[in-house]
Structure 1
């Protein structure tokens, strides 16, 4: 698609559109996150423009009538490519929830993770308590911008038919590998064609520079920031780039961008193994589990094997003219769809019911959602930083098999990516080992890696004020090992931990949330390395 060049005219921008009711839950590692996962919809986005001057202010306007009346909607122009800031620009969309008290502490920017989750959607659906407490909304103006490529900020758009196409879940041969590579390349090229030049500038560094443009446009000397899951990488890389502009920063569910792909794979494999065992132990101790007092691991293994032999019907997906989900579910898809609920212990009862229904022949609750043609796909370059440069098919397949077997050595139930000679050789784990899945699904992806893994600069981060890091000890998606790894790169970091499971901790509304709030509200930093029960 050829993008039209014209002078910038802010009056021609489209307002933020009504938010989809099916936007995904915040904080989900959509690292969560491949192009067909976690669909977030906000149509009617401003087009790409060519300008010669910097936009220095945010245009705040009334939001659509479908939004809460308390929200204001804003837009800010930023460069597509910060190496050429006076060339093409895009418009970032955001919402603002003003503080309830006259004496506000200023602005607090929030990011709900993903990558690919929409901050605008969170507030538009009045789900802000997932990110900020009532105390924070009393004293801060909450600024919720969508990162570039997401929701209200020039979202990535791809061919929906390609995105919804079923591809091999288990790579057992060169033929499987070629099918997956062809799909990935075709999908990626469609995304590049339909999205335009910004597709090649969706890295976290560019998103961090966008944050600084927002800070400056708000007139703030310091950036106050709350980031969860992928939002922690965005925050940490912002702190490295602009340490002198860091205000009060809280990072919950920490990513460590310094780990090489194999290290991240091993770490996440062990975290996934731990999470699965916690889920099965819970099932053995509570009647809320649909498999109470039964051997859930064996049942799950048989269920996945059965779905691999013959996909399980998803009876609820046959209704209506336009199917919103697949009419049947493979074992690979069953594992993938189970991940969302496994990451949140409060959803474990629902997950057990979904698995129980599937065992009785109806996998509707575990069916992958298909992508309607009018929806955008939240794609970030960040998930593709571990892509293999596959010059030769056999060598690449062999390399992926090596890392998959290493994962199996440290986590016997982990077989998320299916890189085995016989899918029935492994026991199954309903927790995604996302790093390995990314390595597989990004084969032949057309966008180059622009933000490869590396340690952050301790010298630069030493100039930042204290930054609060929080992690649960049994987080299945962002391992506590990553939280410790990022801490080692941040001389001013203070770390707290929650002795529990689930992805991120703020949503638990316990002592960890209170510690985060105390720091954001009055600068009170908790004891370093403190461990809380909630």
Structure 2
């Protein structure tokens, strides 16, 4: 990236002192020529504005029309997703919005692009753990801590300041450097946690906020987990209904749900073998739940899921993991954000209680989410940015977009603010605006971000493409 002077935002969000404006120039790397880039320096620790700083890469897709209506700040989620690269990749989806608005994004601190944290020590961390006893739990915690230490010790000060509230202060520094009194915000996926964090800290600086396929960060963790499970079960039931009527489903005519549950029980009793590339690796029921979860959320993968279940019923789990890679490790830098935002369990008894609750809510995927968040214990300090309600009276009406799986979680956020609406996407598929380019969703979001027009309550977008 060819850069002019660095802008410094050390006081932009703390004392109100204006930040120097950004200096825009061409972006480095394989980024669309339509984007411009700049660099903004922010404190690692916002409570120490005169302390060490890091440089954030900020990207802008300028408005293409004459009648500009302001700026939309966009986060792709992740956490840690590289906004500049994601905006460049999906730029056609923003074409109509750009007729009236600048779209600005940034590569966040500690992001998966590795700009601030050495990828050699942080690309992989703890594995998904499935302990069924206190002994196994303690073993998992020991392994998890070992998977974190190298990354944490490489950049200890930054590692301690990756929570979304700190990143919301980075967002406000960008707003100040853009010389905008108020901004609109579009958050995809985990970007909704950034949005909720910003709304709590700076409600008076939000003109509008749209969130798409986002997790709940306003309710206690116990409730947000229940909403996630309810959404996942709703998505699985869509798969079951499809299977009963589609010639592409090899389980057509069978009781799909009972077959799946029997496969999980069998794998729990005796883990199943996989593809030749998996070697001696075996897959237990928790492994199969995690691998199936990714297939449930994509209709194009439903025939693959049906075949995988049918093969597993015969003792072969290869269909769930054709490359034999097993379950991935958690990306450490991303996990550091999750844990600091309160997605964690405080001790063995809290973990086991969560697993017991999930059995009641999710007969098909119970325990899966607990196994993921277990990686936050015990190395993570107390959550710096736990879930909390929004200052509803200080915020404009919000707009949510929720596919079947995420709809309950999105509603948890938008329902807090009077006048808000969540558009229900009548299908599965994560990230309707950014990832899918869904024209119905894009139309509603653009009208809201540009003109503040909230659709009617109960608005639904049909499954797309039809």
Common fold: TM-score over 0.5: yes
Contact preservation (8 Å) 1:79, 1:88: yes
Q: Indicate the residue corresponding to 1:338 in structure 2.
A: 292
The separation in 2 between residues aligned to 1:123 and 1:404, in whole angstroms, is 38
The separation in 2 between residues aligned to 1:340 and 1:330, in whole angstroms, is 17
Instruction: Say whether 1:471 aligns with 2:402.
Output: yes
Post-superposition offset of 1:405: 1.4
Q: Indicate the residue corresponding to 1:114 in structure 2.
A: 78
Q: What SS is found at the alignment partner of 2:394? A: coil
Change beyond 3 A, Cα 1:213–1:166: closer
Q: Indicate the residue corresponding to 1:193 in structure 2.
A: 153
Instruction: Point out where structure 1 has 5 or more consecutive residues left out of the alignment.
Output: 1-9, 14-52, 319-325, 391-395, 418-433
Contact preservation (8 Å) 2:164, 2:194: yes
The separation in 2 between residues aligned to 1:382 and 1:198, in whole angstroms, is 15
Q: Could you report, residue by residue, the CA deviation over 1:439-491 in whole angstroms, capped at 9, with x for unpaired residues?
A: 42212123331012222223xxx23333222323x22xx342x3343234323
The separation in 1 between residues aligned to 2:180 and 2:240, in whole angstroms, is 48
Q: Indicate the residue corresponding to 2:417 in structure 1.
A: 490
Instruction: Say whether 1:453 aligns with 2:387.
Output: yes
Q: Indicate the residue corresponding to 2:167 in structure 1.
A: 207
Residues 206-285 of structure 1 aligned to structure 2 (within 5 Å): 206-285=166-245
The separation in 2 between residues aligned to 1:82 and 1:164, in whole angstroms, is 27
Contact preservation (8 Å) 1:97, 1:141: yes
Contact preservation (8 Å) 2:426, 2:461: yes
Post-superposition offset of 1:353: 5.3
Post-superposition offset of 1:230: 1.8
Change beyond 3 A, Cα 1:410–1:116: same
Q: Indicate the residue corresponding to 1:19 in structure 2.
A: none
Aligned length: 443
Contact preservation (8 Å) 1:253, 1:505: yes
Instruction: Say whether 1:139 aligns with 2:82.
Output: no
Residue among 365, 379, 387 paired with 2:344 = 387
The separation in 1 between residues aligned to 2:248 and 2:163, in whole angstroms, is 42
Post-superposition offset of 1:203: 1.1
Q: Indicate the residue corresponding to 1:83 in structure 2.
A: 47
Change beyond 3 A, Cα 1:280–1:154: same
Task: Provide the alpha-carbon RMSD of the alignment.
Answer: 3.4
Contact preservation (8 Å) 1:161, 1:371: no
Change beyond 3 A, Cα 1:528–1:91: same
Post-superposition offset of 1:209: 1.0
Contact preservation (8 Å) 2:54, 2:116: no
Residue among 324, 334, 356 paired with 1:405 = 356
Instruction: Say whether 1:441 aligns with 2:398.
Output: no
Contact preservation (8 Å) 1:383, 1:438: no
Change beyond 3 A, Cα 1:208–1:290: farther
Instruction: Point out where structure 2 has 5 or more consecutive residues left out of the alignment.
Output: 7-16
Post-superposition offset of 1:196: 3.1
Instruction: Say whether 1:519 aligns with 2:453.
Output: no
Change beyond 3 A, Cα 1:59–1:73: same
Q: What SS is found at the alignment partner of 1:497? A: strand
The separation in 1 between residues aligned to 2:242 and 2:49, in whole angstroms, is 53
